[in-house]
Structure 1
């Protein structure tokens, strides 16, 4: 019984010894889940995984948007290498026939399954979740997924059904009398039962839809998060020194019926405190719902014979700096849980910055599969390569060491400098600015520069905004110290490092 997007054939112990165990892989994908360890929210099953596994406390997505992030994770390549920053291109036909993580395991003898939301559905995965390249079986999507945007949220005043942001429900009264994640779990458990005696190693990816909006979940979970225990964000307004290009108007939140009725000024209005608390409460309740399902899933997994990886495609802003949803280069939008449960490997909690493109080469190492080379500068010429690095050496070392030179690279596109209706999710043809961000253990540094959406080139000399946040004094990233003379030399250093990673000579 094995489930998760990670697979293993060889366990490499702390002392470096190798034991061939023909292990299975379970990859657990949670949609839009930010780390909640500092928010007084108890997610017992995820926390138990972290307490007994290897947890990377500073793991960051490549782009805070579903399709670009998921395709980056699953190919091990950055959005620039895939030329994918929106939902509307399929890398195999648009740029190159690149090998994916599940495809590589499939090519090396694994039976691969996709359950729920793993690839982003639609054009970015060829409307078939990259089947049959990546998967041995047709990917499973729960039947009730078709109701994900249905008007099933009752307005207490009018008793009408609406398309709300906040939507706790009674499951038995829902269309299909279920919810997508409940159906995915049932299907996953059936796969685990059916393949429990399989002689072929398994690679199973399970993707949960929540806490992605709408915040639709069984009502009982709302009772587990008393609103009087929910805290407001420390900085709920746009910081004065934040460049306009860094702001996004969270249009998908505004367009929900319950939020639309608040008539919040576009694009810079602030969510009322009452609603900030209600949204945060519902987000936490949706996370508790998924944590319960993860616990149910893991009860069918032989933890001694399975490598498990748990992560998310990106985080989610909950009112920090006046922002909601994703669509930015801030920590709250990019930072995700990244937990590995590996048989016979001791618990560790690591703070060195890592990237989600590191998952591909890490799993290959853990499974003892043939080495996947690092991508050259002309990545479109190579079918099999990765831009990430294996995290196995961090897992095996007694000390992290050299944390000051470790970093993560992320990016986000904008149509222009001033926030407009499509600033959150610009299509490729509308992208004129790209924000490139580097996160070290102490700093986040971002440059918003001119971007050519036809040639995929950058002009570093045309800047629309620069941000520098010092996490020792400002963990909330609410004080842009870009113009502070005290940071002159660190800014020069980080700018050179960032540019060398995006445009290596």
Structure 2
């Protein structure tokens, strides 16, 4: 009666995966999951920074409703007592379990990962987590540093392990307990890599010889990029190895060879993550639960790898907002799976050759805020109602829509265009849209541009992504009453996907964009 849920959430993972067409990365276990899943190739986070994104998709509300744009408020106190996705499963007789980084730790989840509301037992955090930012990277000088690029010998690490290894072990331990208990479970497992520091077992470097690593296709700051849109990647600058390079603030470029090293280590960290996913899914097979467990795999946002002269997240570009998203639903995305079947044999990235295509793929533009209603529907629970226009006092509702109806869509058929639409509602609702937003303290890059605290926010960049374009407006914002003023537009961006897929050529200033403006206002209102 009802399926279990294994919800895998990765920190800072953009879709550099074999199943998303990346030719360089080795991700055989995630690709194998994709080969049994519905894969969404156009999925977007609502804000490209950890805490706001996670609180948004775990509550099913957008950042303007959670009122969290930084790390320093708890939505139940500062916005409304919104139910979360795990809480809803818990209220529907699931045992809910959290391992690793699911909610962002600290104030934004009440220093408890929202326990006891969301979880049946206190969440697990790996003991090795506390060493993440310590000096554990051996430099060329033989000394230890707090570097960005940080391949390590795991046996030399405190405790002889790394956080994600511990999280995998704990998740497998819990799967074994749940098998014995025979209770329905919702198990969320949050992995930390490829979040910085890029600290991973050094053997994964072997998969990526430096001579195979290219720079980003567009490693320069675009000429027409408004200064407010640029993120100056402060967290990267503060690492010992980057600080030593003395790069000028804000637009100075990192040396090419160091850019390649960052990209190499990001890929290596993804393959290290892939091994953890492989071990976890293999354990799901081992306990005989692959036939009645939904598996969701996604990330909280992406990460720039030198595109637009930017690193890290903190922007509205696709590289920062686009995430992998896939759903394995036995009997739906696959033919029925028999009890005890081996769906996920472990694949070693060092020896496995060949990729596997996704079982189903949708190019529809979707949002992470839709996860809550989608998972509820897949698990056979009542789908939470859509939120009214203002919902601060509504405990259970969702601002995302379930995307289950995309699971069996035949992508081949030609969609009706928007020509001849008299009805505004219909013409605006016809094409799916993903909304993201990012706050800034000023019109030009500042030391706190990446992560302004609420009181310092002066401008909000609202960004609308459809199949054909990305349209962003940077407007005046008042943090004292959380209002954006669309009468006061500081800057705008418009990128047409067909001839500018990397979003390098901003045509906002030479385009009549009244239609886009009406549409973005319509969406924000609804």
Shift of 1:22: 2.2
Q: Which moved more, 1:408-417 or 1:40-49?
A: 40-49
Match of residue 468, structure 1, among 494, 498, 514:
494
Q: Which moved more, 1:422-431 or 1:197-206?
A: 197-206
Q: Distance in 2 between matches of 1:332 and 1:393?
A: 27
Shift of 1:402: 5.8
Shift of 1:492: 2.3
Match of residue 201, structure 1, among 172, 184, 191:
184
- Correspondence 1:178-189 to 2 at 5 A: 178-189=161-172
The answer to whether the Cα contact below 8 Å between 2:2 and 2:380 also exists between their aligned partners in 1 is no
Confirm or deny that 1:414 pairs with 2:440. Answer: yes
Match of residue 276, structure 1, among 259, 262, 267:
259
Match of residue 384, structure 1, among 396, 399, 402:
396
Q: Which residue of structure 1 lines up, in the alignment, with residue 383 of structure 2?
A: 371
Q: Which residue of structure 1 lines up, in the alignment, with residue 353 of structure 2?
A: none
Q: Which residue of structure 2 lines up, in the alignment, with residue 25 of structure 1?
A: 5
Q: Distance in 1 between matches of 2:75 and 2:142?
A: 45
Confirm or deny that 1:360 pairs with 2:347. Answer: no
Match of residue 334, structure 1, among 321, 330, 341:
321
Confirm or deny that 1:34 pairs with 2:14. Answer: yes
Q: Distance in 1 between matches of 2:211 and 2:232?
A: 28
Confirm or deny that 1:344 pairs with 2:331. Answer: yes
Confirm or deny that 1:495 pairs with 2:517. Answer: yes
Confirm or deny that 1:451 pairs with 2:477. Answer: yes
- Correspondence 1:64-463 to 2 at 5 A: 64-156=48-140, 158-301=141-284, 302-346=289-333, 347-399=359-411, 401=415, 405-463=431-489
Q: Distance in 1 between matches of 2:241 and 2:182?
A: 52
Shift of 1:494: 2.0
Q: TM-score, normalised by structure 2?
A: 0.90
Task: Give the count of matched residue pairs.
Answer: 479
Q: Distance in 1 between matches of 2:183 and 2:106?
A: 30
Q: Distance in 2 between matches of 1:74 and 1:256?
A: 31
Q: Distance in 1 between matches of 2:7 and 2:510?
A: 43
Q: Distance in 2 between matches of 1:371 and 1:474?
A: 38
Q: Distance in 1 between matches of 2:399 and 2:509?
A: 32
Q: Distance in 2 between matches of 1:377 and 1:198?
A: 42
**What is the RMSD computed on CA atoms of the aligned residues?**
1.2
> Could you list the runs of 5+ residues in structure 1 that have no partner in the other structure?
1-20
Moved over 6 A (4+): none
SS in 2 for 1:436: strand
Q: Distance in 1 between matches of 2:35 and 2:91?
A: 33
Shift of 1:319: 0.2
Q: Distance in 1 between matches of 2:324 and 2:111?
A: 28
Q: TM-score, normalised by structure 1?
A: 0.93
SS in 2 for 1:184: helix
Q: Distance in 2 between matches of 1:467 and 1:299?
A: 45
Q: Which residue of structure 1 lines up, in the alignment, with residue 351 of structure 2?
A: none
Q: Distance in 2 between matches of 1:49 and 1:417?
A: 43
Q: Distance in 2 between matches of 1:463 and 1:390?
A: 32
Shift of 1:420: 0.6
Q: Distance in 1 between matches of 2:245 and 2:92?
A: 54
Q: Which residue of structure 1 lines up, in the alignment, with residue 349 of structure 2?
A: none
